[in-house]
Structure 1
Amino acid sequence: MGRKAKYSYEFKLRCVKQVLNHHQTVEAVSELNGCHHTTLHDWIRFYEKYGKKALLPRKNKVYSLPFKIKVLEAIEEDSLSFSQACLKFNIPTKSVIMNWQKTYKKSGIKGLNNKSRGKPKSMQFKRAKKKSSKPLTREEELLLENESLRAELDLLKKLQALIQEEQSKKRKP
């Protein structure tokens, strides 16, 4: 499930066109429409460089490790600002690059690797014990049979409970 876009495509396009076509100031348009002026500046820059498609809502994109390194190196070598880097590499927000830079300073290249997302699996399953080649003792055979019978008995009890529940539902209309 992706994030919800704060501003619609139509809203962004309308604001950008008010500035570019109607020659209104960025501050006036941002105040009139209730968006921050730096956000509007970003929309205008992306619109001028990439066209209307740059204003479309984007899904959370996963960037490769070489791409992240390329962006960070370009910032360092060319003395780019975060805004300039965003525009040059078509990255929607400065915070993405800022997070990469912070992670890189903290953990190095290993920190920039894409991490698995989502909730981690909390249940751990017990692995079946490997069968050995030597035969089981009589005691081990009885323990295994006992365990199997207990599991079968539990299953039968649950089945009986379900049958009784179904019958009680049929009696009470």
Structure 2
Amino acid sequence: MSKRVKFSVEEKLFSINQVLQSKTSIHAETKRIGVGNNTLSDWIFNYEREGIEGLKERKTWTRYSEETKKAAVKAVVDHGQSLRRVAKKYHISSSSVLRQWISKYTKGIEIKATSKGSASSKMNQGRKTTYKERLEIVQYTIAHELDYGKAMENYQVSYQQVYSWVRKYQSLGEEGLKDGRGRKKESEELTELDRLKLENKKLQAEKEQLEMEVAVQKKLREIRERFNR
């Protein structure tokens, strides 16, 4: 069975209160419940901004203009403002979304607006996948702190497909991703080599997430040093 990564609103609220009431630190609480620091920080941010509603799982894709994305990124990278403050100012769904834009910016990748037409099309159109692909996509999504949009773009599948697969994996483990429809079922048994390849891709996704965090922190240090001269 996979490691549990789904949390109810009540469980999120308990962890948030533990931190806000200074009963524990973010690091200690995330270690206890098995999530990243960014995940708990986003829960706190969304709770402070929207209350209980902010702790419920989102099923929709939020669209942002190119101007909003660039202004938010520059506010952090060029002016040293905090991720949470900028996310709140520009009504960004979570600081992890903002981190993704910053990662592109620091790598020299052009930041573009999400096209309403293409976003809607991609969200509603899925594609046929194998069991091994679904497992890889789920592991990638979890490694990137449940960034469904990032997984959608990376694997060219629909938002609802990713969301559904993650939910099934969280509830039933790997068995939940097997497709039993039709008389000619796909081969749904992983070889040891398959598992090693999937584990390697999972580690690569986690490494990518870590490198993004390091790049952001490095950029912020450069900004502080520049201002302190």
Report 1 or 2 for greater relative contact order, CA contacts < 8 Å, sequence distance ≥ 6.
2
Q: TM-score range by the shorter chain?
A: 0.3 to 0.5
TM-score (norm 1): 0.48
Max Rg structure: 1
